[in-house]
Chain A
Amino acid sequence: MRGSKGKSSVKDWKRTLVKLWAYLSVHKRLLTAVLVMVVISSSLGLLGPYLLGRAIDVYLVPRNSSGLLSFIFLIAGSYLLYSLSTWLQSYWMIGVAQRTVATMREDLFRQLHKLPISYFTKRQHGELMSRLTNDMDNVSQTLNSSFIQLFSSVLTFIGMLAMMIWLSPWLTLITLSIVPLMYFGMKWITARTGRFFKEQQRNLGDLNGFVEETLSGQRVVKTFSQEKRVIAEFEAKNERLKTAGYWAQTYTGFIPKLMNVLNNMCFAVIAGAGGILALNDMVSIGVIVTFSEYARQFTRPLNDLANQFNTFLSAVAGAERVFEVLEEEEEAGDEQRAVELKTVKGEIEFSGVFFSYEQDVQTLSGIDLRVSPGQTLALVGPTGAGKSTVVQLLSRFYEPSGGQIRVDGQDICRIKRHSLRQHMGFVLQDTFLFQDTIRENIRYGKLEASDEEVEQAARLANAHAFIMKLPKQYDTVLSQDGGGISQGQKQLLSIARAILADPSILILDEATSSIDTITEIKIQEALYRLMKGRTNIVIAHRLNTIRRADQIIVLEDGKIIERGTHESLLRQRGFYHGLYDSKSSRSKKGQLG
């Protein structure tokens, strides 16, 4: 069983490597230049010890000084070239590696934006962030050095082997005797490390996710005085990370040691055996010196390979996690025949729409509705009735499991997603503002808007007055938990943002829930003006905001139970009447008592 697991992971690696190569191959020309430099530096690296040995044999041992100086200059020249080529190869490789990593990061980022909303419901932000930082960091570190070392190691190894055989086949044979030892040692170690590296990266992502979430929810942690609990939970994750890290690192630590001992043994064997051979005049002292140096260098590429193999393992583990996201199924692509919508009149039609977020729970069943251009539709109903879901389907965050949704008579599945959304303006239930200036936050509705337009929109949304009271007014930077402004003010800003967007279809999902009613009345006029000439869908609990709607639909458990205008629904004395009544009756009671 373990064997089959191992095999599949080797296959995974291959896949990961092929994908990695696809990124690297963009820089083929630079990579070729790097390779050329690697060839040059590797051969010069081989030449150096040989020349050194020659210098000893030819000049030092026979005590012969004539010509030594020019020979030394020759060696100096090769050293200079060696350094130059080493420098160039890493200079270029850094560029290639970092550009590759940057591209991968960007692709990952793009991919995240292409994923359907449902992808994010089961994943922690921090865990995804970890893939983009911690995992990419591993890839970056490996690319920086491994690529070069991989090639130079192979080249050096081959070259050195050739030189050694040429110099002394016997000594070569003796030196090579350590290779099987090395092979089995490495196999034993790497069989263990790969698993731990994967686990380490996974645990790191897990920890990252936890930290991100705890920091986002810091307000609750504090007010509930749950620091100890959070710390305890953190500690458990921390502990798991430590354990995985410990084994990964320990085993990794064996590699250079193994190489070192083999290296030293080799050195000893060469010295000993070389000594014996020299006594029999089979080799010269110079050859032994050259050989001992070669032996060091011979194990070095293997050593490097081994060392690299481990950073390499952690990088593959990292890259795998990155590609995992990249391969995730994207938001269903636009149909081939999908069209762009140039202008939208704003006719909306749902016919027999079904939808469920999770299997066996119908969130919407058989929704039929029609909104004419310029009309306002209000959705009311108890929480969880499916009001927001209607909006989510209309904007194609999710696809209905049955039925059809049409805008201007066109099935929205046949409209390009971005084109569809471009004609819609949203004020969503969860106000989200960026950590940026107020001005830029409003401008988000229409990126090319001028400062005047931004202020105009703010005025319409009744946000101008409070903005002007802030220390830096429109240039006030919102802090991460919106510390500076209140929830209601945030809603005003997001209304301003929607006003600026000037859409054909306006969607207000609990847009004014945190705004006090006096302010709401003040912006009511602005909202009505805003809604004029557009098709509007309004979700609200406060009934007076929806009183003026052309059509009110009451949802319960994903079904439409009542529809009509405010007056007609009141006359029906049904659910809507009950909702309305629960408010007014209590107010009467209040007045009485």
Chain B
Amino acid sequence: MLKVFSYLKSYKLSIVIALSLMLTELVVELWHPLLMAHIIDDGIIGEDLSAVLRWGGIMVVLALIGFAAGIVNSFFAAHVSQSFGFDLRKHVFGKIQTFSFANFNKFPASTLITRLTSDVNQLQNIIFMGLRILMRAPLLMLGGLVMALIVNAKLALVLVLVTPVLLVFLLWIMNKGFTLFRLVQERLDTTNGVLRESLIGMRLIKAFVRFGHEVRRFTKANDDLMDRMIAALRLVELTLPLLLLVMNLSILYILWSGNRAIGSDSAEVGEIVAIVNYTLRITGAFSVVSLILTSVSRAKASGQRLAAVLDTKVDIVDSDEVNGDLCVKTGKLSFENVSFCYPDTDTPVLGSVSFTVQPGETLAIMGATGAGKSTLFQLIPRLYDVNGGTIKLDDADIRYFPLESLRMGIGFVPQEALLFTGTVRENIRWGNERASEDEMIEAARRAQIHETIMKLPKQYDTVIGQKGVNLSGGQKQRLSVARALIRKPNLLLLDDSTSALDAKTEANLLAALKEHQCTTLIITQKISTAMEADKIILLEEGRVLAEGGHEQLLHSSPLYRQIVQSQLGEGVAI
């Protein structure tokens, strides 16, 4: 929580200015009833016109000073709160970017999105309020109290008794409200989550005619959100009427005791009027406080949610022994007894996997669905860290590489071609911003997508929708390959990235990859692809079952023979 507000530190000066301007306003506000008392007591009762004019003039001047202070305060308060929001979003987003996949499992995307927008907004609002009225209200209260005591301590005594009680009451409500608003934000996550899934799975939902089902799911989340919101708001809205009642009754008490005090000549009418006036102002401050209350409770809930993100321990970071000079050069890759299981599970996905790929070689990885092929790939750019054994690149443990230069040296083509909203050009150059136009076209050519792109109406400037919705599966895969090739990586990882390609295009693609002298690992289901590789590894249940060239495996591995048969048909002689 403290960490969240620590971003305010950079704006110390602005905060001080804003607060002092606020205090100036406050002084004006507190001074006014006093001057009013002067007008009544000196001017009207003393029948002195010049006194009336003098005090009236001072009041006007003060009001103008207060106004100027208020206007300038606006600039500073907005500056602080918006900059704070900016910093907070920046840091939270930056933090999220350092998250490992294990971290992401704790924070689904929908909650991170709400936190970055809705929660930051809540905090931003409270800061703005804080620099303008939040502080002013309690100070106004305190000031009003002090002034009332100065005017007539005996009459104002009741205020000293009532105000703290009300404050305690307010704090209690605030605490309760905080719990309720945290639930509200959580429900907002859920609602957001349902919506997001619905958007991503739109095709499936339409295809299965599950509109009604989705609406029910959403309505449930939405109603829940509504109920929580109503509960939270109703609680905090209870405070204002109660506060007003107590304060109003206090005024009546002051009137009544004031009347008796006048009788015994221990108070003047002007004094009573002034105290009543102060009480009214304190009451006004109280109602402001109760208004702010909602925001404070919400902001506290939001602050905690943001702190949770900022305080998350990232488990994949550069280790202490990292060698800053290391970067991927030759692309020699070796696995030595690597074992792995996903965080928070104890089912091993990989068990003592060992193999070596020489620079420039191509290794094909085959195996049944769920054998651990993709998992093996994820370990190389350190999306997850191994549990046992080591992975070496250029004969150095990958953990000694700075994370960034390790990943910079790898061209990764994931199984699902994840594209971004933007033009084709932007998507390819996403892999390497510094690439020239020629380099981009070269990458597209190699990925066998250049001609397809040239046929599009706007060619490289064609806009593709989120996740590449307006492209065919094969087009997406080839764009994703081009994005990896433009980096000119020394190690290329293709995770079944040619599955949606027809055999001809695929063959051309593989041939083009051969020209590019880099170590290539390719996960595939197709024997035709595997045959092109220098070496094939057969994975089964996380273990290397067989390793070798096509011919070798044909003779040594029954499973491999079976796969070959399954694809080339009975007729193929072995």
Q: How far is the CB of A239 from chain B (nearest CB, A)?
A: 7
Q: How far is the CB of B263 from chain A (nearest CB, A)?
A: 6
Instruction: Find chain A residues with CB under 8 A from B225 CB.
Output: 102
Docked-complex contact B233 and A79, CB < 8 angstroms: no
Of the listed stretches A164-172, A357-365, A449-457, chain B binds A357-365
Docked-complex contact A544 and B567, CB < 8 angstroms: yes
* Top 8 A-B residue pairs of the complex, sorted by shortest distance between their CB atoms: A383-B474, A272-B56, A488-B369, A253-B74, A257-B70, A268-B59, A261-B67, A225-B407
Q: How far is the CB of A228 from chain B (nearest CB, A)?
A: 8
Known contacts A253-B132, A264-B32, A586-B507; decide if A216 and B418 are in contact (CB<8 Å).
yes
Instruction: Find chain B residues with CB under 8 A from A257 CB.
Output: 67, 70-71, 73-74
Nearest chain-A residue to B508 (Cβ)?
A582
Q: Does A125 contact B (CB under 8 A)?
A: yes
Q: Can you name 8 A-B residue pairings with CB atoms under 8 Å? A: A52-B251, A79-B249, A90-B240, A223-B383, A223-B412, A268-B35, A541-B500, A541-B502
Q: Does B143 contact A (CB under 8 A)?
A: no
Q: Does B354 contact A (CB under 8 A)?
A: no
Q: Does A26 contact B (CB under 8 A)?
A: no
A225 to B430, CA, bound (A): 11
Q: How far is the CB of B96 from chain A (nearest CB, A)?
A: 7
Instruction: Find chain A residues with CB under 8 A from B345 CB.
Output: 471, 484
Instruction: Find chain A residues with CB under 8 A from B563 CB.
Output: 516-518
Instruction: Find chain B residues with CB under 8 A from A208 CB.
Output: 113, 116-117
Known contacts A65-B263, A129-B113, A582-B503; decide if A250 and B74 are in contact (CB<8 Å).
yes
Instruction: Find chain A residues with CB under 8 A from B56 CB.
Output: 268-269, 271-273, 275
Interface size on B, residues (CB 8 A): 199
Docked-complex contact B415 and A487, CB < 8 angstroms: yes
Instruction: Find chain A residues with CB under 8 A from B525 CB.
Output: 513-517
Q: How far is the CB of B27 from chain A (nearest CB, A)?
A: 12
Instruction: Find chain B residues with CB under 8 A from A225 CB.
Output: 381, 403-404, 406-408
A59 to B261, CA, bound (A): 12
**Which residue of the partner chain, among B223, B237, B559, contacts A518 with CB atoms under 8 Å?**
B559
Q: Does A332 contact B (CB under 8 A)?
A: no
Q: Interface SS of chain B: helix, strand, loop or mixed?
A: helix
List CB contacts (< 8 Å) of A116-153 with chain B.
Answer: 117, 120-126, 128-130, 132-134, 137, 140, 144
Known contacts A129-B113, A516-B368, A518-B563; decide if A106 and B222 are in contact (CB<8 Å).
yes
Q: Does B53 contact A (CB under 8 A)?
A: yes
Instruction: Find chain B residues with CB under 8 A from A430 CB.
Output: 203, 416, 473
Known contacts A125-B466, A579-B502; decide if A486 and B370 are in contact (CB<8 Å).
yes
Nearest chain-A residue to B566 (Cβ)?
A517
How many inter-chain residue pairs (CB < 8 Å) link A and B?
541
Docked-complex contact A587 and B241, CB < 8 angstroms: no
A480 to B110, CA, bound (A): 10
**Which residue of the partner chain, among B60, B79, B101, B419, contacts A246 with CB atoms under 8 Å?**
B79
Known contacts A254-B71, A272-B56; decide if A428 and B207 are in contact (CB<8 Å).
yes
B60, B532, B563, B564 interface centre (most CB from chain A within 10 Å): B60
Of the listed stretches B6-14, B39-47, B303-311, B356-364, chain A binds B39-47
Docked-complex contact A112 and B198, CB < 8 angstroms: yes
List CB contacts (< 8 Å) of A186-243 with chain B.
Answer: 204, 207-209, 211-213, 215-227, 229-231, 234-235, 238-239, 241-242
Q: Does B162 contact A (CB under 8 A)?
A: no
A550 to B55, CA, bound (A): 102
Residues 417-452 of chain B: 1 if any A CB is under 8 Å from the residue's CB, otherwise 0? 011110000000011010000000000000000001
Q: Does A479 contact B (CB under 8 A)?
A: yes
Docked-complex contact A253 and B77, CB < 8 angstroms: yes
**Which residue of the partner chain, among B64, B244, B381, B420, contacts A86 with CB atoms under 8 Å?**
B244
Instruction: Find chain B residues with CB under 8 A from A520 CB.
Output: 566
Q: Does A434 contact B (CB under 8 A)?
A: yes
Instruction: Find chain A residues with CB under 8 A from B86 CB.
Output: 238-239, 241-242
Nearest chain-B residue to A484 (Cβ)?
B342
Of the listed stretches A2-10, A337-345, A368-376, A418-426, chain B binds A418-426
List CB contacts (< 8 Å) of A567-588 with chain B.
Answer: 578-579, 582-584, 586-587
Q: Does A157 contact B (CB under 8 A)?
A: no
Instruction: Find chain A residues with CB under 8 A from B49 CB.
Output: 275-276, 279
